[in-house]
Chains A and B, each alone.
Chain A
């Protein structure tokens, strides 16, 4: 497997900055997103949600809604079909590994504020929305856990999934004996993905067969989950999702509204479109859980780590244990003989969280990297030197060598491009007029995973090829990068290759998440294309590999309209022999206005060691996107939760503050040369998530450097900065 890349000849398009092959379709509106399909007789749904966080529906009055103009059906727990919700032999990794998913319209029970309790289907969206407002509900409220602090008092271990409590040596004893110590608590708020495209599903039944046009990062799982929910064979379901308008993890799982759409369509006897409102996106789909973490570091006088303790508590719902790998980076990011980590859950009356770009890792690394900055100050060591002194030459957690690790290069490159050597170490010592200038840095890391995938190739007698896999493209450029991989392996120009994705009728692909698409689907595409080219060679009886330019002629000679090849690719033993991660280094400059408390970021510099870069243009795009995410996390984004109602109050894009253009600074992205022969045939490590890691702590550390104050609760807003500065004055 690992050698297939070597058989490729001809001009390489892998590594070229090819522009998005779907770019024109997207900007001209020709790309059809899930909600834009128009099956005949399409009806529209509006979802009614609970207004209390816990209890039962005592009475639900739907008469007024039912007799409202245009209404076709009102689905509630009274009349909705009882669904089997069969358990799956193995839970998809995108679902929480313990608990029971929310069953919609199956009982009067309320487990969180904003829970779907009815669906109105009408001829138009306006009619459905109006009728939904006519539904009157009476509740028997029950005591609810809506305060994080209360839930976090007696947190519990996740009852399934990857172990999160890791240990080596005796961290507590080493901490007690350490010459320099840091012990601090970091608070990261709940965040919502807020992709521009809302979640939407169109469901259409044809007898017992169901078609779903859905916003999803994994058509295969949509199909499998809905098959289990409804107790119907997977073969009877087709899921179509050619374009996704951003997702960041919110479309990994199959959410309850997909089931609602299918129920509504069944009851209405019509295809039904169900689109969540922006406000509903803050309770109907998941979010990045609020996570409070203690990090304790012990070190020698020179900063070399002797003890590392990281303990995290994140919130989850009352019905599922959603656990993140928050504390995993602590186990491998630095060399440290004594380690102890713990991860606990604080169940609340809230919907289940879900992965959001670099889930867990972003969170764990921000606390660890903010603590490392504190340690650097305490030990009187430059923050970058501190990282180098604790450089991990192998994975001390798995006790394996790295498949490759370009982190030293990343540090060096980014530091040079940033001009780090000009940093004056003393906090508050760099000023520009009245502004306080701060420089900070952090390390980034993300595991390199890979999953089994399949792809097919059709070479046609006009000399073009169509390559297919049921993958997804939520924005990174899957269409483009796969076209490049295929074009190279087939020895065809990219214009002669078309890649298709997002349909369960296509060869199986794994989830479009965890930064695995390039490694997994890319390997399958390459394998299929290499096999197809070999088939062409066999047909031509050539000794040397055939040229793509000759395909048409070869096929015509044989009277073949086309040649079809399908191939599978899966990870192998290499996963056990090496520890595989992408690494990066982020440097940030901040400007703090000491009177107004505002923090602005004029520049961010990142260098990444992420294996082979298939397309530097889309790769850069990934990285700047990740930087913007980290910027928002550091300075403005938070879902403002009201304990009393158990709900997010800033549930709109005017008040949930993602960075706007004026916030986004000069972003400098470099990829260091990294040749990794072990990770996968393409030598790629994925970029989606590492791009989001390390940015927030680099900014927070820069704010400390500017002000001399540690802001350990995110985001760092003017009210906090002013409070910190006036305390110091």
Chain B
């Protein structure tokens, strides 16, 4: 491990001040991802600033919106009775993530900011544009069974690993950011960037930015929501493909729909075309399947991940069918 200085932040301002000045310390929350990256020398920060002492916990419901502190642990959010009742997709996405031990440690903000599982990114000896800009992308013509098919570029095809982010993007969740210049809010959907020519720049966050909370609006789609995750083994693995879906019904027709998918995008991926094909229709296998058939529009598979095109459609169909009571 690279030697680093350790600071325990006393106030959020400690983070924004120290963070916006060299050496730009890395923020340490649960450490479940950051420690791996430090040990593998993927990250070699000169300083870590530990935010665990800050008052960034708590789950509150206000004005039809759930406010979740950045340091709330995955297990706590997953088990919250309000979440299991009114935002089931959030709970399911969390429970389908990692293991009980990891979830007890891992924070909500850290989850959104965990780095890709691309094996080349995590092996500091192989070329990787995301880790070492300009060195090349080893996955393009390498092992890419787990990589993205949507939002890719010829510089990077790494899939975004978070399950929670998929659910949050489906529900129009937003995050609060405290930066050196004050507070700001962004939609989770706009937190991550496409790789383009700069795959090393993953989010819109600037040095010194601290995520303080996540806001998840209540909606009929949130109340009637579901998460389906496909993976090689039954648990403790990131998604090959996943789908977060929500449906609002007006009598016999779908009045609103939310579909976001994971394991396939370079960022958590919302499927608005699929949503629009559902709205105004009566729920049923045909409708679900026809809509899901458009889920992989624009996909650019690279060999090993070609199966994801079909699997994506099937997974979205399955999620809708299970939610719509057709499965």
B317 in contact (CB, < 8 A):
yes
Alpha-carbon separation in the docked complex, A660 to B233 (Å)? 7
Contact: B232 with A635, CB < 8 Å? yes
Whether A644 pairs with B232 at a CB distance below 8 angstroms is no
B307 lies within 8 A of A723 (CB): yes
A154 contacts chain B at the CB level, 8 A cutoff: no
Q: Across the two chains, which residue of chain A brings its CB closest to B146?
A: A655
In the bound assembly, the distance between CA atoms of A663 and B232 in angstroms comes to 10
CB neighbors of B among A264-286 (8 A): 277, 279
Please report the total number of A residues contacting B with Cβ < 8 Å: 39
Q: Is A595 in contact with chain B by the CB < 8 A criterion?
A: yes
Q: Is the interface of B mostly helix, strand, loop or mixed?
A: loop
Which residue from B120, B143, B230, B233 sits with its C-beta under 8 Å from A596?
B230
How near does chain B come to A593, taking the closest CB pair, in angstroms?
A: 9
Given A129-B1, A434-B327, A596-B314, do A722 and B232 touch, yes or no (CB 8 Å)? no
Whether the pair A655, B233 counts as a contact (CB closer than 8 A) is no
Q: Which of A80-128 contact B (CB under 8 A)?
A: 126
Q: Which of A434, A651, A723, A726 contacts B123 (CB 8 A)?
A: A651
A657 with B230: in contact, given A640-B119, A649-B120 (CB under 8 Å)?
Answer: no
B142 touches A722 (CB 8 A): no
B64 within 8 A of A: no
Which of B2, B123, B234, B315 sits near A663, CB closer than 8 Å? B234
In the complex, B182 has a CB within 8 A of chain A: no
B 123-162 to A, binary, CB cutoff 8 A, 1 in contact else 0: 1011000000000001000110100000000000000000
A51 within 8 A of B: yes
Q: Which residue of A lies closest to B317 (CB)?
A: A595
Binary flags per residue of B201-239, CB closer than 8 Å to A gives 1, else 0: 000000000000000000000000000001111111100
Select one of B119, B307, B327 contacting A718, CB under 8 A.
B307
Establish whether residues A719 and B233, one from each chain, have CB atoms under 8 Å apart when the complex forms: no
1/0 contact string of B286-318 vs chain A (CB within 8 Å)? 000000000000000000100100110011011
Residues on B with C-beta less than 8 A from A647 are 123
Contact residues of A between 240 and 290, Cβ < 8 Å to B: 277, 279
How far apart are the CA atoms of A434 and B322 in the complex, in Å?
12
Task: From B39, B41, B233, give the contact of A662 (CB < 8 A).
Answer: B233
Chain B contacts of A126 at CB under 8 A? 1, 3
* Contact A600 B234, CB 8 Å, known A649-B120, A651-B123: yes
Asked if A642 and B142 make an inter-chain contact with CB atoms under 8 angstroms apart, the answer reads yes
Could you say which residues of chain A place their CB within 8 Å of the CB of B40? 279
Asked if A718 and B311 make an inter-chain contact with CB atoms under 8 angstroms apart, the answer reads: yes
A294 to chain B, nearest CB (A): 26
Q: Judging by beta carbons under 8 Å apart, are B117 and A655 in contact?
A: yes
A129 nearest in chain B by CB position:
B1
Asked if B240 is at the interface of the complex by the 8 Å CB criterion, the answer is yes
List chain A residues, Cβ under 8 A from B235. Answer: 660-663
A126's nearest neighbour on chain B, judged by CB, is B1
A719 to B39, CA, bound (A): 32
Q: A636 to B232, alpha carbons, bound, how many Å?
A: 6
Contact B119 A663 (CB under 8 A): no
- A719 touching B41, Cβ below 8 Å: no
Say whether A726 contacts B310, CB under 8 Å.
yes
A718–B311 Cα gap in the complex (Å)?
Answer: 9
A225–B307 Cα gap in the complex (Å)?
49
The smallest C-beta distance from B55 to any residue of chain A, in angstroms, reads: 31
How long is the Cα–Cα vector from A130 to B2 in the complex, in angstroms?
Answer: 5
Chain A residue nearest to B102 in the complex (CB) = A654
Distance between B290 CB and nearest chain A CB, rounded to angstroms? 15
Among residues of A, the one whose C-beta sits closest to the C-beta of B228 is A596
A463 lies within 8 A of chain B by Cβ = no
Contact B232 A657, beta carbon cutoff 8 Å:
yes
A719 nearest CB neighbor, chain B only = B307
User: Across the interface, do A596 and B318 meet the contact criterion of CB distance under 8 Å?
Assistant: yes
Would you call A185 an interface residue if the criterion is a C-beta within 8 Å of the partner chain's C-beta atoms? Answer: no
Quick check: is A713 within 8 A (CB to CB) of the other chain?
no
In the bound complex, what is the Cα–Cα distance between A220 and B211 (angstroms)? Answer: 57
- Shortest CB-to-CB span from A44 to chain B, Å, is 13
- CA A434 – CA B326 in complex, angstroms? 12
- With beta carbons under 8 angstroms apart, the residue of B3, B119, B122 that contacts A130 is B3
The answer to whether A718 touches B232, judged by C-beta atoms less than 8 angstroms apart, is yes
A115 vs B232: C-alpha distance when bound (angstroms):
31
**Is A133 an interface residue when CB atoms closer than 8 A count as contact?**
yes
Contacts of B307 in A (CB 8 A): 597, 718-719, 722-723
Near B by CB (< 8 A), chain A positions 696-729 give 715, 717-719, 722-723, 726
A714 to chain B minimum Cβ distance, whole angstroms, is 12
Q: Which residues of B contact A621 (CB under 8 A)?
A: none
Q: Is A645 an interface residue when CB atoms closer than 8 A count as contact?
A: yes
How many interface residues does chain B have, given as a range? Answer: 35 or more
A670 cross-chain contacts in B, Cβ below 8 A: none
| CA gap between A662 and B234 in the complex, in Å | 6
A636–B146 Cα distance when bound, in Å, is 14
Q: Do A640 and B143 have beta carbons less than 8 Å apart?
A: yes
Query: Among residues 593 to 638 in chain A, which have CB atoms less than 8 Å away from a CB atom of chain B?
Result: 595-598, 600, 635-636
B2 x A595 contact (CB < 8 A):
no
Closest to A51 in B: B125
Contact (Cβ within 8 A) A130 B1 = yes
Report yes or no: A650 in contact with B2, Cβ–Cβ below 8 A. no
Instruction: Decide if A663 touches B233 in the complex (CB within 8 Å).
Output: yes
Contact for A598 among B2, B122, B125, B230, CB less than 8 A: B230
The smallest C-beta distance from A197 to any residue of chain B, in angstroms, reads 18
**A337 part of interface (Cβ distance < 8 Å):** no
CB distance from B138 to the nearest CB of A (A): 8
Contacts of B117 in A (CB 8 A): 654-655
Cβ-defined contact, B120 with A722, below 8 A: no
Known: A130-B3, A596-B315. Is A657-B233 also a contact (CB below 8 A)? yes
Nearest chain A residue, comparing its CB with the CB of B41? A133
Give the residues from 647 to 686 in chain A that come closer than 8 angstroms, CB to CB, to chain B.
Answer: 647, 649-652, 654-655, 657, 659-663
Contact B318 A595 (CB under 8 A): yes
Q: In the complex, which residues of chain B have a beta carbon less than 8 angstroms from the beta carbon of A662?
A: 233-236
Which chain B positions have C-beta within 8 A of A655? 117, 119
Q: Contacts A596-B315, A635-B232, A719-B307: A133 and B2 contacting too (C-beta < 8 A)?
A: yes
Are B123 and A657 within 8 A (Cβ)?
A: no
| CB of B42 to closest CB in A, whole Å | 12
Interchain nearest-CB distance for B245 vs A (Å): 15
**Inter-subunit contact A596/B311 (CB<8 Å):** yes
B327 → chain A closest CB, angstroms = 7
Say yes or no: A642 contacts B143, CB within 8 Å.
yes
CA distance A434 to B240 in the complex (A): 21
The complex places the Cα of A650 from the Cα of B142 at a distance, in Å, of 13
Chain A residues, Cβ within 8 Å of B1? 126, 129-130
A654 to B99, CA, bound (A): 11
The residues of B that contact A663 with a CB separation of less than 8 Å are: 233-235
Whether the pair B230, A718 counts as a contact (CB closer than 8 A) is yes
Of B39, B143, B230, the contact of A649 (CB 8 Å cutoff): B143
Q: A584 CB to closest chain B CB, in angstroms?
A: 25
Taking CB atoms, residues of chain A closer than 8 Å to B230 are 596-598, 718
| A624 to B148 CA separation, bound complex (whole angstroms) | 37
- Complex Cα distance A598/B1, Å? 38
- Near A by CB (< 8 A), chain B positions 1-28 give 1-3
Which residues from B are CB-within-8-Å of A644?
138, 142
Pick the most buried of B2, B138, B145, B236: most chain A CB atoms within 10 A of its CB.
Answer: B236
Take A635-B232, A662-B235 as given contacts and tell me if A649 and B318 are in contact as well, using a CB distance cutoff of 8 Å.
Answer: no
Chain A residues within 8 Å of B119, by CB: 640, 649-650, 655
| Chain B residues within 8 Å of A595, by CB | 314, 317-318
B233 touches A635 (CB 8 A): yes
Residues of B within 8 A of A651 (CB): 123
List, in ascending order, chain B residues with CB within 8 A of A726's CB: 310
- 10 extra A-B contacts, CB within 8 A, seeds A642-B143, A651-B123: A51-B125, A130-B3, A596-B311, A596-B314, A598-B230, A649-B119, A649-B142, A657-B233, A662-B236, A726-B310
Interface CB pairs A-B, < 8 A, 16? A51-B125, A434-B327, A596-B315, A597-B311, A636-B232, A642-B143, A645-B125, A650-B119, A654-B237, A657-B232, A660-B99, A660-B234, A719-B240, A719-B311, A722-B307, A722-B310
